[in-house]
Each structure stands twice: as C-alpha cells, then as structure tokens.
Structure 1
Amino acid sequence: MTGNGRRRAPSILSALRTAAVFGSACVLAGCGVLPGATGGSGDPVTVMTWAPDNTRATNMPGMPAMGQAYARWINARGGINGRELRVLTCNEGNEPMAAAACARRAVQEGVVAVVGSYSQNGRAFMPPLEAAGIPYIGGYGLTDDEFRSPVSYPVNGGQAALLAGNGIQLADSCDRVSLVRPDTLTGADLPRILNTGLAQGHHRTAVDIPAADDAGEYTDEARRARHQAGEKGGCVTAALGDHTANFFDSFRRLPPDGREIKVSSVLGSVDQPLIDRTGGANGPFEGAYLTGWYPEAGDPRWDPMKQVLREHAFADNRIDPADTGVQTTWIAYTVLTEVVESLGDEKITPGLLGRALDRGARVDTGGLTPPLRWRYEDMLGTPSTPRAVNHEVTFQVVRKGRLVAQKEDFVDVGPTLREAAAH
C-alpha cells in the first residue's frame, strides 16, 4: 500500500503478467488452439466460464467473451508456465436445469476449475462441482452457495458486503433512509444488514419497503419510499437487481412535490453501463451514491485489463470494462493464473488446485482487491457468508454521468457483517 492507504498499481511487468490471465476460448461444441497460439509444453489447463445470454432476465455475455479475448493473449505468449489455457464457455440460461447442465458438462470435459462465472442457481450447479471436487473460483457473488460450498473461492463479499457498506455510506449523507428490496426470503435479511451499517453513524433504522423483484414498474413503492424519506435530506436506496432500473424510472416519473431526495444503490444493481443507457448526467442516477466491490472503472488499477481488451477483444461489444461481471471475471482469472504458476510443473488437477487454495496460496490482484487467501483463518465466518475472504467495499458517486470515487480508500465492512450476524 502507499502511505495514504491506497493500493499501489502494479508494475508494468506484473500488470502484463496479470493481463495474461484469461485463456483460450471455445464455444459449446469444443475447444482448440486459436490461430497464432503457441501452446507450450505441458498438459493444457482446461477451465469453464458460464453466464446467461439471450434470456429475458439478466444477461452477462461479457464474462465468457472476456475468456475468448484473453485466449488469444495468453496463448500467444506461451500460456501459463508453458501450458495452453483452454476456456470452455456455457450459456447458463438463467435456469436451474441449464446451470446444472453446464456443471455436468464441466465435469465431463475434465475442467480443472470453473472461473469467473455468473449464475443465480447455486443449488443447481454446485452439487455436480462438489461431487467432482472442481473449484468454483470467483463467481459473481449472487448466491449463498457461493459463500458456503467447500469448493467455492469467492473474490468479493457478495450482496451482504454491499448492503453493509451502503449503510455506512448513507449514514454520513442522509437524515432518513428508505430501503426498497425484494419481497423474498433473501431480501428479508437486507434491512438488518443495512441498518447495522447505518448505526455506525448513530443513524435511525431505514424504512423497509418490500417489492416484487420482477415488476415492470414500481409507482406505489416509489411514492411510499419518497414519502418516508422525509421533506429534506432523505435518501432512497434500492437493491432489486436488474429491476432496480425499473424502480428508479418509476421514482423519476413521480409528480414533483418539492422534496429533495437523494438516490442510492449498490453495484450490480446499478453500474456504469446502466447509467449510460438511462441518460447519463441527465438520467435518474446523477448524484446517486453507490457502494461497489472494486475501484471505480476509471481507476488506473484497471489499466492492465483495458490494455488487453484493446489489443485482443477486436471491438467485441459484448465486453464493457466498466461492467462488474467483466471485472469479476478478470480478477477470477488472475487467481487461476497465479495459483497455477505457483504449482510449477506439477500436473494441474481439480484436487491439486483446491489443495493449493485451501493451504493458503496468496493472490495479488494489483490493488483491485485486498490480497486474497482462502485459509480457514482468512474467512469471515458469519453464518450467511462463512467463506467470504474479501469484505472490503468502495464508495462511489455519479458526477456528470460518470461513476467516480467518493472515498479513495477501501472500507472494511467485516466488523459490520459480524455485528449484523450477531443480531
């Protein structure tokens, strides 16, 4: 770290090594060395990246597309320790059966890990991976299974970390807070976590407003949230996943009533691509407070990733470097590469990778996260997220249509999560 607590950007050499992280890509039909790849000595390292694509719900095509771009990068330079990196991709389809099929295919294809993937169907895909002992490295952080399964190695703190951080962020900026969250069992935990963060600023508890997580409009909830936030100095925060944009569209359409209300959310529910699509500086998110897992997209710590995209993505419009899924996938492949490199010439197997991770392989992500390790003593240990090892978040704000840092340093929400779990 630098003296002011900001993580130091990697050197050019380490940045290029980190950029070498993503592997050769192949579509569902199979795998092969891409044109120009040198391969190298040793057995190939085969992994899989899955995400939903062409569905009516959340689509994350940039995550497997990133693997395709970086296949050209790393294999043109000899692979990882002389091994070709092969990346299988699978459309998870936002459906349990499709997610389970991707996991079974990963087993059948003999992958050594599933890396940097997105799925809301942890209960469907995790059992096949567990049965085969295949590590799940750097999933998006959507499901409880990603923070409980012994074969899962998360790189962020999931939604719990974001809500705890959002509470801390808003405690200094809002007199009253309305929370709009999914009317689900998982959503029912969110007010407690947010309120624990708010309490760090001696703040009153948020008004809890449950809402359908798949609605097309939220006029009633928006009206109630605005009213409960008070006349002045209030905030409305929402964590409805993909439908957060629908909520804030309804909020923006309410007839003016003279109230001065600030809006807020968490990364994953709102990100730079969504801000761009909804009008940028003239849209509903101008001035919004956002809590994220990683530094804002303009931070120089993302430069190695952007360099690789410029050189090897060939204007692939599926990949947006400001997308949280793309960023998570980059970090996940950094983990894979550093752990494989640490194993030298040993034959890479799922079991060997898992043991290396369990025994304390340490990964430096160039300041995008704290150094990552998955030993027992590194884990948060709370009932809902026992395997979380990264419980740091960032505070961001939308200014002139761009997400920028509100606070330069990371904020550790581990104590807040432990306190929330105790209640």
Structure 2
Amino acid sequence: MTGWRRSSSLHSLRTAVIAAVCTATVGASLSGCGVFPGTSGGSRAPVTVMTFAPDETKATNMPGMPAMAQAFARYVNSRDGIDGHQLRVLTCNERNTSSGAAACARRAVRENAIAVVGSYSQHGRAFMAPLEAAGIPYIGGYGISDEEFTSYLSYPINGGQAALLAGNGRQLATGCRKVSLVRPDTVAGDDLPVLLNAGLAEGNRKASSDIKAAEDSTEYAAKAEEALDDAGNEDGCVTAVLGERTETFFDSFRRLREESGADVRVSSVLSSVDQPLIDRTGGASGPFEGALMTGWYPNAGDARWGTMRDVIREHAFGDNRIDAADAGVQTTWIAYTVLKKVIETLDRPEITAGAVTHALDSGVRVDTGGLTPSLRWRYADMLGTPGFPRVVNRGVTFQVVRDGRLVAQREGFVNVTTTMRNATTA
C-alpha cells in the first residue's frame, strides 16, 4: 500500500519512544499506544471511526471484525497514520439486538466519529437512523441488513446476502435436481428463497422447499430430516444459511444422511461456512467435503490476501479473535481499505463525516487489489433495483471444498446483476 506521508525525524523519535514504552509496560493504556491516540503528533488532526459487531451472544458472533479494525489502526499509525492523520478506532458490542445496535450508533455520534466502518448488525433500522441524523456514513457493512443497501449514507462493499443467495442458486442450478433451503425465520431471511430461486431459474430449477429455522437453536434434527426428505435420494442438494448455527444444522444433517444412505450434496454461503469451520469439523473427513460454497471474495488461500495476512501477523499481537479466513475479518479489511483511500483523496488537515460522504458520492474509485471488483458509489454505479438500490459490487465467487480446503470452483468473479434484478421482479 502506498501514499504514506514521511515523518519528521522528531516525530519518528517520538513514535519509537512511545512504542518502546508500550512494549515494556504490560498495563499501558491503549490510548497511549497508538490504537486510540489522542494527538496526531503533527499538524493533521486525528480521525475517529467506529466498528461494531456482536460478541458473546447466542446467535452469530463476529469478534474478529473489531479486532481487525484495531489491528488496522496499529498498522497505519505505525506509519504516521493515513495521510498524516492518526486513526482512532472505537469498538462496540451490538449484542445482536436492536437496542445494542442503536446504542453503538449513538456512541459513534457522541464521539464525533467520521464513519462507521467494517461492521456487522442485522438491525439496520436501529443503527442507521442515528447515523443518518448525524450525517455519519456507514462504510462496508457485512451485508446482512436491508438498510445497508437502501440508506443514502450506506456504502456497501459487497452484494450482501442477496448476492450470495442469487449466486448460490446459479451455482446449484447445474447438478442439483432438487434443492432444499434452510434459512433463518427472520425478516432478513424472508428474501432468501426468492433470490435463490432466481438463480436456480437460470438452470430451470426451483427450490423444493423453504424451511424456516430459529437462528439461535441448539439442535436442528427435525429441520434436517425435513430438508433431507424433501431433497430426495438422488442428485438432491441442501443449502443452509443460518450464520453461526449452520454448523449445528449440518451436524444433525450428516448423521441423518449417513443413516439413510441418501446421495444428497450440501451447500452454503461464505457468510455461514468458512475455512475455520471446515477445519473445526474434520476437514476432508467432515460434513463439508465436496460442498459447494458461494462467497463475496477470493478463497482465503489466495495470494491477494497477502497484505492483510502480514498486518495480522505483525500488528494483531497474537489476538486469537482474528482469523484471516473469516469473512467478517475480510470485510473489515476491505472496508478500511476504502476509508484509507478516501482520506488520502481528501488531502486536508481535518477530516469530517461530510467530507467523507461527499468524496464517496462524487465518485472516488477504490482498487482493493483484486479482492473485489473496483468499487465506486456514484448513482450510475448502483444496481438501482427495489430492495437493493445501492449495491455496487455484484460479483460473487464460486468455491468448493476439496481435500478439506476451500478452493475456486470457477476462476474470477461471477456477475449476478441480472439474477438480482430478476429476483426483484419475480
């Protein structure tokens, strides 16, 4: 990554002294160690941003996202910040509740954050309203809530669950005679069958069943049996999108499939199944061997993730919350890449939320090093369809689990623009 400002010798000496003190002092305050700096050490003002995500809840947890944000701050601050601005990262646990999401957003407003970056929450209405009232942009959300693709202050970096399900349908349209979908019994989950069917329709297929399941259940034996029965015994497929509980579902499903001897293939999307989960459940001998997966980004072993891996190794200090193969961590990395580019483009002593928003609306283009297609948020770049008007990245990747590793089933990005548009008119 380029564009770092040269430090004066005095500032470099000051930075070295602070780093030495922080390294030697176990109980040192983070505010003095570069993660939450109070001063920039130069003429350019520090910038404050927030990253929030759920942690220690009964449903999906994403602790790696705020941890990645903190590692990114240490990374850029060790190089005199972003264009001379030290980066102050606030983190917040939104607890998978609307009240928690709203509380995080209100804190971002109180602390004069210029943006909320690389965050996760299903409760878009709760967090977007305070941000909109304060004029704070939401950059690179995980893609799980409707408001991320409708709010005028949201700047998504992927196509969200919508793109994944549309892509998953296209991926399964070849080779799956019948498809059973298992998805959360939530408002966000209600769009998923329509999107999956839009993709399947391109191969003259349609989902055999739409099985609603509680996203915080501790067992799914009944749902697994329903999905297996509906998929059939030959060339059937079951795709489950239950976030963190997808593992629990497929644990039940594997036992039933082995008992019945049914030849049913499994599938999911990379927001619910990733390489750490595949490793944890047995790798090549686990339930996901041969599974078809749709993702937003290249597989975790791709060389394009090299810079992120270097930053994690050098600046995460052994933080076991961060896994480079986690889709949440990857999303946060890309979102902060966008923030960095915007701040560098502004090239001014003080950065405001309004200035960031104006730059994004005016067409700043971000090259993510091939991790996504080139990103830009002009009106002309957006999908513009009901439900997902602000989607600018309609690319997904098709992956498959071979010998316990997620690898590319098809090279490059698959554009699901037409599929998503067909879903909104179905």
TM superposition score normalised by structure 2: 0.89
**C-alpha contact 2:184 2:214 (8 A) present in aligned 1:** yes
Give 2:25's aligned residue: none
Q: Tell me, in whole angstroms, the C-alpha distance in 2 between the residues paired with 1:334 and 1:215.
A: 36
1:170-189 aligned at under 5 Å gives the runs 170-189=172-191
1:403 is aligned to 2:406 = yes
Identity rate of aligned residues, in percent? 66
Q: Tell me, in whole angstroms, the C-alpha distance in 2 between the residues paired with 1:304 and 1:274.
A: 23
Q: Tell me, in whole angstroms, the C-alpha distance in 2 between the residues paired with 1:40 and 1:60.
A: 35
1:56–1:227 distance in 2 versus 1, CA, 3 Å: closer
Q: Tell me, in whole angstroms, the C-alpha distance in 1 between the residues paired with 2:287 and 2:218.
A: 17
What one-letter code is carried by the residue in structure 2 that aligns with 1:282? S
What secondary structure, in the 3-state scheme, does the structure 2 residue paired with 1:206 have? Answer: strand
What one-letter code is carried by the residue in structure 2 that aligns with 1:353? V
Give 2:419's aligned residue: 416
What one-letter code is carried by the residue in structure 2 that aligns with 1:43? A
**C-alpha contact 1:117 1:140 (8 A) present in aligned 2:** yes
Q: Deviations over 1:265-308 (max 9, x none)?
A: 01111111211222222211111101001000000110010011
1:133-172 aligned at under 5 Å gives the runs 133-172=135-174
- The aligned length equals 399
Q: Tell me, in whole angstroms, the C-alpha distance in 2 between the residues paired with 1:359 and 1:279.
A: 48
**C-alpha contact 1:39 1:76 (8 A) present in aligned 2:** no
**C-alpha contact 2:376 2:392 (8 A) present in aligned 1:** yes
What one-letter code is carried by the residue in structure 2 that aligns with 1:228? D
**C-alpha contact 1:135 1:151 (8 A) present in aligned 2:** yes
1:56–1:208 distance in 2 versus 1, CA, 3 Å: closer
CA-based RMSD: 1.9
Q: Deviations over 1:310-356 (max 9, x none)?
A: 11112111110001110000000000000110011252100111011
What secondary structure, in the 3-state scheme, does the structure 2 residue paired with 1:64 have? Answer: helix
2:275 to 254, 272, 275: 272
**Unaligned runs of at least 5 residues, structure 2:** 5-28
1:285-296 aligned at under 5 Å gives the runs 285-296=288-299
Give 1:130's aligned residue: 132
What one-letter code is carried by the residue in structure 1 that aligns with 2:406? L
Q: Deviations over 1:89-145 (max 9, x none)?
A: 112122222221111111111111011111122121111100000001001111001
1:381 to 380, 384, 387: 384
1:325 is aligned to 2:354 = no
1:218 to 196, 220, 226: 220
Query: Offset of 1:169 from its aligned partner?
Result: 0.4
1:92-131 aligned at under 5 Å gives the runs 92-131=94-133
1:304 to 280, 303, 307: 307
1:195-206 aligned at under 5 Å gives the runs 195-206=197-208
2:364 to 352, 361, 369: 361
Query: Offset of 1:371 from its aligned partner?
Result: 0.8
**C-alpha contact 1:146 1:152 (8 A) present in aligned 2:** yes
What secondary structure, in the 3-state scheme, does the structure 1 residue paired with 2:260 have? Answer: coil
When structure 1 is superposed on structure 2, of 311-320 and 187-196 the one drifting more is: 187-196
Give 2:397's aligned residue: 394
**C-alpha contact 1:181 1:211 (8 A) present in aligned 2:** yes
Query: Offset of 1:212 from its aligned partner?
Result: 2.7
Query: Offset of 1:33 from its aligned partner?
Result: 5.1
Q: Tell me, in whole angstroms, the C-alpha distance in 1 between the residues paired with 2:122 and 2:135.
A: 20
Q: Deviations over 1:160-203 (max 9, x none)?
A: 10000000001112122111122334333222211110111222
What one-letter code is carried by the residue in structure 2 that aligns with 1:399? R
Query: Offset of 1:84 from its aligned partner?
Result: 0.9
Give 1:43's aligned residue: 45
Give 1:344's aligned residue: 347
Query: Offset of 1:204 from its aligned partner?
Result: 4.0
Q: Tell me, in whole angstroms, the C-alpha distance in 1 between the residues paired with 2:92 and 2:115.
A: 14
Q: Tell me, in whole angstroms, the C-alpha distance in 1 between the residues paired with 2:193 and 2:314.
A: 44
Q: Tell me, in whole angstroms, the C-alpha distance in 1 between the residues paired with 2:41 and 2:140.
A: 25
**C-alpha contact 1:122 1:146 (8 A) present in aligned 2:** yes
2:261 to 258, 271, 283: 258
What secondary structure, in the 3-state scheme, does the structure 1 residue paired with 2:266 have? Answer: strand
Q: Tell me, in whole angstroms, the C-alpha distance in 1 between the residues paired with 2:162 and 2:332.
A: 20
Give 1:71's aligned residue: 73
Q: Deviations over 1:9-63 (max 9, x none)?
A: xxxx55x97xxxxxxxxxxx98455299874431111111111222232221111
TM superposition score normalised by structure 1: 0.90
**Unaligned runs of at least 5 residues, structure 1:** 1-12, 18-28
What one-letter code is carried by the residue in structure 2 that aligns with 1:34? G
**C-alpha contact 2:283 2:404 (8 A) present in aligned 1:** yes
What one-letter code is carried by the residue in structure 2 that aligns with 1:277? R
What secondary structure, in the 3-state scheme, does the structure 2 residue paired with 1:301 have? Answer: helix
Q: Tell me, in whole angstroms, the C-alpha distance in 2 between the residues paired with 1:409 and 1:153.
A: 23
Give 1:241's aligned residue: 243
What secondary structure, in the 3-state scheme, does the structure 2 residue paired with 1:237 have? Answer: strand
Q: Deviations over 1:242-279 (max 9, x none)?
A: 22111111101215223211100011111112112222
What secondary structure, in the 3-state scheme, does the structure 2 residue paired with 1:181 have? Answer: strand
1:60 is aligned to 2:62 = yes
What one-letter code is carried by the residue in structure 2 that aligns with 1:360? G
Query: Offset of 1:359 from its aligned partner?
Result: 1.1
What secondary structure, in the 3-state scheme, does the structure 1 residue paired with 2:45 have? Answer: coil
**C-alpha contact 2:35 2:87 (8 A) present in aligned 1:** no
Q: Tell me, in whole angstroms, the C-alpha distance in 1 between the residues paired with 2:93 and 2:207.
A: 41
What secondary structure, in the 3-state scheme, does the structure 2 residue paired with 1:256 have? Answer: helix
Q: Tell me, in whole angstroms, the C-alpha distance in 2 between the residues paired with 1:317 and 1:130.
A: 34
